[in-house]
Amino acid sequence: MRRSVAARGVAGSTFDRVAREAGVSRGLLHYYFGTKERLLAEVVRRDCALRMETIAAHLAPARTADDVLRLLIAELQAIVESDPDLLTLLFELFTGGRRNAELAAEYAELQRRTRDQLAAVLIEKRDEGVLHLAAEPEAIADVLFSIADGLAMRMVTEPGRDWSAAIAAGLSALRPLLDAR
């Protein structure tokens, strides 16, 4: 489903096509997922859970706000460079959710869960004395994800462009949120 949606979008990713590419029966997909929307939601849920585990692990050694920002940017760049299909899945889930209530609910839950997970990491870093947050952790997590989502879309759209100036500007804008002393 992941590869199919990245290549063909949600509309072109039928159970028949996904089953054929996965080497399983269409009935098996129906049995476990019911609809292609549920399959897509499960794929995105799994990918985001893995990504959040990676982010938490990478942020564990951070000792300054600059470390946190540097590690978050490194994670964003890694996704853009090595896993742009994840971004396509997220954008497809969002777009599909504009026309499908089931996908909209899954996308909203995904947003809530990832925001809460990042907020928990920010709270942990605040409690360690690494961060001095300028706002509620959930609000900062929303801002971090919003900027990352926007940058990711632009970076995938223009892969040959040098994004260092835009990234530096983003870091300058975000630093006061994480180091409000």
Classify residue 20: in a domain, yes or no: no
Classify residue 36: in a domain, yes or no: no
Predicted pLDDT of residue 155? 95
The predicted model scores a pTM of 0.85
Predicted pLDDT of residue 105? 87
Classify residue 110: in a domain, yes or no: yes
Classify residue 28: in a domain, yes or no: no
Provide the residue range defining the domain that includes 82. 41-178
Per-residue pLDDT of 130-140, as tens digits, reads 999 999 999 99
Residue 36, burial from CB neighbour count under 10 angstroms (0-12, 13-18, 19+): buried
What CA–CA distance (Å, rounded) separates 94 from 18?
20
Q: Give the length of the chain.
A: 181
Contacts of residue 27, Cβ cutoff 8 Å, sequence gap at least 6? none
Predicted pLDDT of residue 146? 95
Write the CATH number for 60. 1.10.357.10
Classify residue 127: in a domain, yes or no: yes
Classify residue 27: in a domain, yes or no: no
Mean pLDDT, consecutive 10-residue stretches, the chain (181 aa), reads 80 86 89 85 82 89 95 93 86 85 86 93 96 98 95 93 96 96 87
Counting the structural domains of the chain, the total is: 1
Classify residue 156: in a domain, yes or no: yes
Classify residue 93: in a domain, yes or no: yes
Is there a contact between 70 and 7 (Cβ–Cβ < 8 Å)? no
